Amino acid sequence: MKDYITHCEWKVIEKEFNPDYNRISESLFSIGNGHAGQRANFEEKYSGDSLQGNYIAGVYYPDKTLVGWWKNGYPEYFAKILNAANWIGIHINIEGEDVDLATADIHEFRRELDMRTALLKRTFVASLPSGKKIEVEAKRFLSVKDQEIGAIQYRLKSINFTGQVEVTSFIDGDIVNEDSNYDEKFWDEIFKEKRGNEVYLGMETRKTMFHVFNGQYTRLSVNGKEKDIESKSVGSEKFIGSVFQLKLKEGEELLVEKYAAITNSLYYSKEDLGKRVSLAVKRAAEKGFDQLFVEHAAVWTQKWETSDIQIEGDVAAQQGIRFNIFHLMQTYTGDDERLNVGPKGFTGEKYGGVTYWDTEAYCLPFFLATAPQKVARNLLIYRHKHLQKAIENAQKLGFKGGAALYPMVTINGEECHNEWEITFEEVHRNSAIAYAIYNYINYTGDKEYLAPYGIEVLLAISRFWSQRVNWSEDKQAYVILGVTGPNEYENNVNNNFHTNNMAVWTLKYTLESIEYVKKEYPYLFEEMIQKWRFNEIMETNRWKDIIEKMYLPYDEKRQVYLQQDGFLDKELISASFLNQDESPINQNWSWDRILRSCYIKQADTLQSFYWMQEDYDNEIIERHFDFYEPLTVHESSLSPCIHAILAAKIGRQDKAYEMYLRTARLDLDDYNNDTEDGLHITSMGGTWMSFVEAFGGMRVIDGKLHLNPFLPDSWKSYSFRINFKGAHLEIKMKDALEIINHSDIKIPIYVWGERYELTKNQSLKLNKQIV
């Protein structure tokens, strides 16, 4: 754990430069706009350790799988969102010396990210080796209003010298991915051009043949007066820039303005890209930094109006929740159903920037409650578009008859995860996708999604479970063998409770959905029978038999469901007895030792209890929480949120608060010693869940909104906002609870078990429940 980020309600602030933490800060201060993301790299040269990173949504490379032992059905590649051309470069040379914080003497340094407006600002005062002293202020943003544009203002003031300054403003496409399996470069240059103070670079990805065009316009001013300087061209393979030379006097301030544009072949024909990027550059330059920023900031104001969470009395918690909300909103905007939410978003290379089951389990609830309904719907449409690929994935593993296994990792619907115990075994992901359909419909009331989208996905997933089980003569029950549950510290186990339990739930929900579609959309149901060759009687009878006779491992003595067969053969020692220097165990223990241990990476059995809360009373949930949580090391970023919600459910308010702080500040405080690889974007959805569902006690039961809020002892108050079935609600918790309906829609709501009705624009005040 690290504690160098200043606590501040609306900003992320670093007050001094520590080279050892630079990669962490590059992750923390990343900016994005849903279509592109940029790590907080320096504009000027930096010869120290850094992970240069600019990522374009949807643009990927199929990096050939690197394995020691090939197995049938193994993915041929791991898809990676590529590190794309560096567009922020502004190198400064003063009389032969580069401005480089790795070699300079730094007197003052401050880096801050304003989360209200997604503006990254950095200031420093430094002396070059020659003694020349400079003061620098750099500001930049990626426009969320005009998602093809980024803008930079870079100010440099001479403190104690008069001398010749050379400014090189460039685009560098000679980029590598540090995680390349075979140290390959993934880009080829196809176009390069300089027009006055504009430069353009066109690149093409190898194999996938995406085209990405970058353009920039650079303008210089001294003491507020624009300088008419003829720039020279500098270029090499995959690199182009403009070089400006001028004399800067002591006390003068140089301003470099850089307007950049990025276009790609996902949105335009390849023949049209050159024209489009040129238009975007001109559009940005004509508006200028200030107007572009005003338009950009206005969109962010709208985003915060429907998603902000306010905490009074705990600045660390306040900063943490806003940090998580901010990065979720700048990673995914929901305007393109081909895009999704990668575990690291656009903040690093780890996990390839592609889609996991994290989206359905942890991100969907946030977008359901804070964004227009189409945003969440597009996350579901993304999976429906990949249905045929999911069927092909199942076929590769020997499944037939339209069974679908959704990939553990994908960008285009094909499985591309390169670890066998995940690729072949972590099949519980299928049920997460089914649950997301239920979650969406339960929350929005949009049952029309079932016909035809949802029902087709549910049918294919249920066909998978029907084939994945087998009958055990010994147990006289159906079993599921050779799996990995959410706890990836166990591999190739039999009868993982969560996997078996959610398979049963999926079959039940599919049967219910079929009955609904048959009744409400009989013509679509007939079309489905023909399209998917659905033998209703035969297939549904088998599903019902599986539901009735599925084996769920259970210990009568402890009265708990067991994580898997044989779990009690392990030596059950609480994680509290682990030595501090052994944590995290995934960085200090051998894999053999981890697999033999009882330690749990993240909620596994408890994941089922979280999703199925209404099926169990608090006594049962508490019994399972007390058995499994002490064995959990929370070394997955997805772990604390589920435990926070369940702790609140059973009245463990202090534990809920402890788990909330861990998830909210996971990256800000680098809990797991891995923030340098990028932020844990998908777990940030879990942070939002842990606040709204733990402290707010929010749950949607049979389509009705329920609240069971409490106020942590260290807070004076909190408030959050949600959209629910067309209404926009503000929930405030202080000495009393206040719910404000900021809409014209009448809505029923259950608070502490009592039913109330909120009419349009009504405020409801209730006394705080004594817990």
C-alpha to C-alpha distances, 376 to 334, 363, 692, 723, nearest whole angstrom: 7, 9, 18, 12
Out of 44, 204, 488, 539, pick the active-site residue: 488
**Which residues are registered as beta bridge partners of 246?**
165
d(CA 631, CA 618): 20
Peptide bond between residue 584 and the one before it cis (omega within 30 degrees of 0): yes
Beta-carbon contacts of 306 under 8 Å, excluding residues fewer than 6 positions away, are: 370, 371, 721, 723, 728
Cβ atoms of 138 and 122 within 8 Å: the answer is yes
How many other C-beta atoms are found inside a 10 Å radius of the C-beta of residue 626? Answer: 13
**Residue from 358, 414, 354, 408 nearest 387 by CA:** 414
Burial letters 521-531, b for 16+ CB under 10 A, else e: beebbeebeee
C-alpha to C-alpha distances, 116 to 308, 326, 436, nearest whole angstrom: 10, 8, 30
Phi-psi domain of 167 (left: phi exceeds 0; alpha: psi -120 through 50; beta: other): beta
Q: Where in 356-452 does DSSP place strands (E)?
A: none
Q: Is 629 a catalytic residue?
A: no
Q: What share of the chain is helix, strand, coil (3-state, %, to 5)?
A: 35, 25, 35
How many other C-beta atoms are found inside a 10 Å radius of the C-beta of residue 770? Answer: 5
d(CA 585, CA 500): 28
Place of tokens 């962490």: 24
**Residue from 229, 45, 48 nearest 154 by CA:** 45
Cβ atoms of 333 and 34 within 8 Å: the answer is yes
Cβ atoms of 203 and 190 within 8 Å: the answer is yes
d(CA 60, CA 125): 39
Cβ atoms of 29 and 142 within 8 Å: the answer is no
Tokens of 526: 């007939």
Cβ atoms of 19 and 8 within 8 Å: the answer is no
Long-range contacts of 589-595 (CB under 8 A, 24+ apart): 594/489, 595/489, 595/490, 595/491
**CB neighbour class for 273 (10 Å; exposed up to 12, middle 13-18, buried from 19):** buried
How many other C-beta atoms are found inside a 10 Å radius of the C-beta of residue 204? Answer: 18
φ/ψ of residue 78, rounded to 5: -115, 115
d(CA 349, CA 84): 11
φ/ψ of residue 525, rounded to 5: -65, -40
**CB neighbour class for 554 (10 Å; exposed up to 12, middle 13-18, buried from 19):** exposed
**Residue from 585, 607, 387, 591 nearest 485 by CA:** 607
Q: Which amino acid is at 732?
A: K
Helix/strand/coil for 595: helix
d(CA 316, CA 8): 7
d(CA 438, CA 553): 26
**Residue from 711, 603, 698 nearest 369 by CA:** 698
φ/ψ of residue 432, rounded to 5: -65, -35
d(CA 6, CA 319): 10
Rg (C-alpha) for the chain, rounded Å, is 27
Q: Report the interhelical angle of 653-664 vs 639-649 (nearest 10°).
A: 160
Which residues are catalytic, by number? 488
